[in-house]
Amino acid sequence: MNIETNNQLIKVTGLTSGMELREINQIFNGLKFQLKESMRVEFDLGGASSSDPGLIILLKSIVTLSAEKRFSVGFLNLSDELQALLEKSGIGKDGSYTDINAKSKGPASIFLTLGAAAYKFFDDIKSIIGFSGSVLIVIGKIIRNPRKIPVQETLYYLDKTGVDAVPIVSLICFLMGMILGFQGITQMKRFGIDIYVADLVGLGIVRELGPLMVAMICTGRAGSAFAAEIGTMKVSEEIDALTTMGIKPERILVVPKIMALIVAMPLLTIIGDIVGIIGGTVVSLLASDISFSAFCNRTLQAIVPANVFESLLKSIVFAVLIASIGCLRGMEAQNDAKGVGRATTSSVVSGIFMIVIADALVTFTYPMLVLYITGMPY
Amino acid sequence: MSADNDNIIEVTGMTVGYGDYVILKNLNFSVRKGEIFVILGGSGCGKSSTLKHMIGLSKPLSGDIKIKGRSIVSASEEERDEMTREFGVLYQSGALFSSMTLEENVSLPLREFTDYSPEMISAVAKYKLSLVGLEQFADFAPSEISGGMKKRAGLARAMALDPDILFFDEPSAGLDPISSAELDKLILELREKMKTTMVIVTHELDSIYSVADRVIILDKEIQGIIDEGDPRYLRDHSTHEWVREFLNRLSMRG
């Protein structure tokens, strides 16, 4: 093989078949070093076999490089057979290059990227709300036909998502109560209003931290487990099997999970609220001179039934969201192991995100709801 | 509208694909009542996609599929659910529900679509398992049995509601030659006993001569059916050289 360099033109002649990849790599590196912008390289392919893989790799590498380094490529004595092979790789007979995978690449500009991300975000929210709604409709239909209620499956998930979560919920809420109590008492002591730490702990836990912490724990435990379970079922064609049996996968797979979580989460939230208040009480009593009875009286005065309803309402909204997102992500999973992993991660990330949004919505609208129902300000 | 006397499935002008991506164009074929019909072709030619369209898991880009005279393409969701009870599907992996025992797997369609008592459902499920030689494994979980047994259990579940048509997606995939031959024997026995129409998608040439009454051969290049007929006849007399080579490769191996 010869490489002749003449000013702006490099001519490669005598290319033979059967070159080893190491040899090809050397030729490519040599040409890569010599070729600069607006130069031209010509390959005389007269003696080359069209079925030689090494030759095709070399030509493809050079042509791909030409698009990047802006030099031109030409072929001499190109056979029809070799031309057809090169065209399959996006290489024209004039040495031009078309990226045949260009479609799969993402948007080119930052605006398109942002636009695509925003579109995906709103599309995502729409699909989560749509899915939650369709599942609630299915639940409504099932309740009218009690024979169809999947009692056994619901109890199974109630055990897994509810009973099994009691220790971790208790521990986390106890610690959150202690932290809240400690932060509160250290500040309030300075102003001599130690007793109001009972209000802070009671209301903070019941209205906000209790349902929120339980939701976070359930997202990590239940939401991800639902996504992984349904995603794996999708990979092993179990979802297809249900569909072709005429059974709605939502009814068999999603409904028991949502029903279980709708029951489990309010109960867990009540446990979390009580344990959280106990945690706050313990630390507040230890760090101040408030008596136990005074603290309890203040707590009972601070918490009104509407606060408990807020806590329970939030937990039910969160339960529907967590179970729906987990199941939806599982249903959307790609049919491979990576897809299941992505679905699991996405169920947790989207779950937390949607919980925070829903929490804000309920927190801001609940006082209006109370005012509307009772006629009294919250 | 009733189906042609002989044809239980009729596919007309079906284009197989997803979105803008077309895999196969203008497919026209029919499956006769009681026959074992094989959809054959190389890897990636669209066999499994064709099956997915036929069983209503995906909608064809154009064309129609009629099962017992009713279009599965234009059927409403409820009608499609009802139509799916007329056929059973054996998936490549068996697709057994991992949280259930084999008996519970086979019982599921019976629990969903019949008014049988629990005792009756259990008896029917055990009978179906006995047809595929798995009665003694009724209480086993899918994870406790072999790949071949999973496929047989999947077949028992597909037969639970005594469907008129059974679809098989690559039944021999992942099986050793002996298990594969046993499954072929089972397919023939079941056809004999139950007179079920069977549609089998495969790229395993080994089993087609033992089970197939008729084959269609799909080709990636022409994006359609390259030939159709009795596999033994096509092996020697197909007008397409590629088909003769494809089918003779089996003879050379066998």
What is the DSSP track for A84-112? Answer: HHHHHTTB-TTS-B--TTGGGS--SSHHH
pLDDT of residue A34: 86
Virtual CA dihedral for A169, A174, A176, A179, nearest 10 degrees?
A: -160
pLDDT of residue B253: 42
- Nearest chain A residue to B52 by CA distance is A240
Q: Do A233 and B98 touch (CB under 8 A)?
A: yes
Average pLDDT, integer, range A310-322: 96
> Measured between alpha carbons, how far is A12 from A115 in angstroms, rounded to an integer?
47
Distance from CA of A136 to the nearest CA of B (A): 18
Q: Do A244 and B84 touch (CB under 8 A)?
A: yes
Q: Could you tell me if A132 and A324 are in contact, meaning their C-beta atoms sit under 8 angstroms apart? A: yes
**Residue of B83, B97, B159 to mutate for A, most A C-beta atoms under 10 A:** B97
Q: Do B95 and A241 touch (CB under 8 A)?
A: yes
pLDDT of residue A343: 94
Q: Could you tell me if B223 and B230 are in contact, meaning their C-beta atoms sit under 8 angstroms apart? A: no
Quick one: A94 exposed, middle or buried, by C-beta within 10 A (0-12, 13-18, 19+)?
exposed
Average pLDDT, integer, range A228-236: 92
Q: Do B93 and A237 touch (CB under 8 A)?
A: yes
Smallest Cβ–Cβ distance between B92 and the set A237, A244, A247 belongs to A237
Residues in chain A: 378
Write out the two tokens for A195: 């007793």
Q: Could you tell me if B84 and B166 are in contact, meaning their C-beta atoms sit under 8 angstroms apart? A: no
Partners of B56 on chain A (C-beta within 8 Å) are: 243-244
Provide the sign of the torsion angle of the four alpha carbons A164, A168, A171, A176, taken in this order. negative
Virtual CA dihedral for A12, A14, A15, A17, nearest 10 degrees?
A: 180
pLDDT of residue A51: 67
Q: Do A246 and B85 touch (CB under 8 A)?
A: yes
Buried b (16+ CB within 10 A) or exposed e, B156-189: bbbbbbebbbbbbbbbbeebeeebbeebbebbee
- Nearest chain B residue to A233 by CA distance is B97
> Measured between alpha carbons, how far is A103 from A353 in angstroms, rounded to an integer?
31
Partners of A245 on chain B (C-beta within 8 Å) are: 84-85, 108-109, 112
Smallest Cβ–Cβ distance between A240 and the set B85, B91, B113 belongs to B91
Partners of B154 on chain A (C-beta within 8 Å) are: 241
Q: How many other β-carbons are positioned within 10 Å of the β-carbon of residue A296?
A: 13
> Measured between alpha carbons, how far is A180 from B185 in angstroms, rounded to an integer?
71
Partners of A248 on chain B (C-beta within 8 Å) are: 81
Q: Which residues of B touch A (CB under 8 A)?
A: 55-57, 80-85, 87, 89, 91-93, 95-98, 108-109, 112-113, 154, 157
Write out the two tokens for A224: 């991800």
Measured CA distances, A116 to A110, A119, A120, B110 (Å): 10, 5, 6, 46
- pLDDT tens-place values along chain B, 254 residues long: 444 468 899 999 999 988 888 899 999 999 999 999 999 988 888 898 999 999 999 999 999 999 999 999 999 888 888 888 889 999 988 899 988 899 999 999 998 888 889 999 999 999 999 988 898 999 999 999 988 899 899 999 999 998 999 999 988 887 788 888 888 888 898 888 888 999 999 877 778 888 999 999 998 888 999 999 999 899 888 888 888 888 887 544 43
Q: In the structure, what pLDDT confidence band is assigned to residue A155 with cuts at 50, 70 and 90?
A: very high
Distance, first Cα to last Cα, chain A: 89
Smallest Cβ–Cβ distance between A244 and the set B57, B96, B97 belongs to B57
Q: Where are the beta strands (DSSP E) in A36-80?
A: 40-44, 72-76
DSSP A247: -
Assign residue A237 a region: left if phi > 0, alpha if psi is -120 to 50, beta otherwise?
A: left
> Measured between alpha carbons, how far is B30 from B32 in angstroms, rounded to an integer?
7
Virtual CA dihedral for A346, A349, A354, A355, nearest 10 degrees?
A: 130
Q: In the structure, what pLDDT confidence band is assigned to residue A101 with cuts at 50, 70 and 90?
A: low
Q: Could you tell me if A3 and A10 are in contact, meaning their C-beta atoms sit under 8 angstroms apart? A: yes
Among candidates B130, B150, B168, B159, which has minimal Cα distance to B50?
B168
Interface A–B counts its CB contacts (< 8 A) at 50
Quick one: A189 exposed, middle or buried, by C-beta within 10 A (0-12, 13-18, 19+)?
middle
Residue A44 has pLDDT above 60, yes or no: yes
Q: Do B109 and A247 touch (CB under 8 A)?
A: yes
**Residue of A104, A155, A244 to mutate for B, most B C-beta atoms under 10 A:** A244
Q: What angle do CA B212, B214, B218 make, to 5 degrees?
A: 105
Q: Do A247 and B89 touch (CB under 8 A)?
A: no
pLDDT of residue A259: 93
Average pLDDT, integer, range A36-64: 81
Q: Do A247 and B108 touch (CB under 8 A)?
A: yes
Q: Do A244 and B82 touch (CB under 8 A)?
A: no
**Residue of B21, B57, B110 to mutate for A, most A C-beta atoms under 10 A:** B57
Query: Would you list the DSSP string of A118-177?
Result: HHHHHHHHHHHHHHHHHHHHHHHHHHHSGGG--HHHHHHHHHHHTGGGHHHHHHHHHHHH
Within chain A, how many helices (H) and strands (E) appear?
Answer: 15, 4
Average pLDDT, integer, range A113-139: 88
Among candidates B43, B44, B42, which has minimal Cα distance to B242?
B42
Q: Do B91 and A237 touch (CB under 8 A)?
A: yes
> Measured between alpha carbons, how far is B31 from B68 in angstroms, rounded to an integer?
10
Residue A48 has pLDDT above 80, yes or no: no
Distance from CA of B77 to the nearest CA of A (A): 9
Residue A150 has pLDDT above 80, yes or no: yes
Kindly report the backbone phi and psi dihedral angles of residue A290, in degrees, each rounded to the nearest multiple of 5, phi listed first: -70, 140
pLDDT of residue B5: 62
Q: Do A236 and B92 touch (CB under 8 A)?
A: no
Q: Could you tell me if A223 and A323 are in contact, meaning their C-beta atoms sit under 8 angstroms apart? A: yes
Q: How many other β-carbons are positioned within 10 Å of the β-carbon of residue A258?
A: 26
Mean pLDDT of chain A: 89
- Percent of chain A exceeding pLDDT 70 equals 97
Which residues are B41's β-sheet partners?
A: B218
Q: Could you tell me if A128 and A328 are in contact, meaning their C-beta atoms sit under 8 angstroms apart? A: yes
Q: Could you tell me if A31 and A62 are in contact, meaning their C-beta atoms sit under 8 angstroms apart? A: yes
pLDDT of residue B254: 38
Among candidates A359, A170, A333, which has minimal Cα distance to A267?
A170
Q: Could you tell me if A295 and A284 are in contact, meaning their C-beta atoms sit under 8 angstroms apart? A: yes
Neighbour order of strands in the sheet with A9-13: A2-6, A9-13, A40-44, A72-76
Q: Which residue has the higher pLDDT, A48 or B134?
A: B134
**Residue of A103, A145, A226, A236 to mutate for B, most B C-beta atoms under 10 A:** A236
Partners of A138 on chain B (C-beta within 8 Å) are: none
Kindly report the backbone phi and psi dihedral angles of residue B112, in degrees, each rounded to the nearest multiple of 5, phi listed first: -75, -40
- Percent of chain A exceeding pLDDT 90 equals 52
Q: Do A245 and B93 touch (CB under 8 A)?
A: no
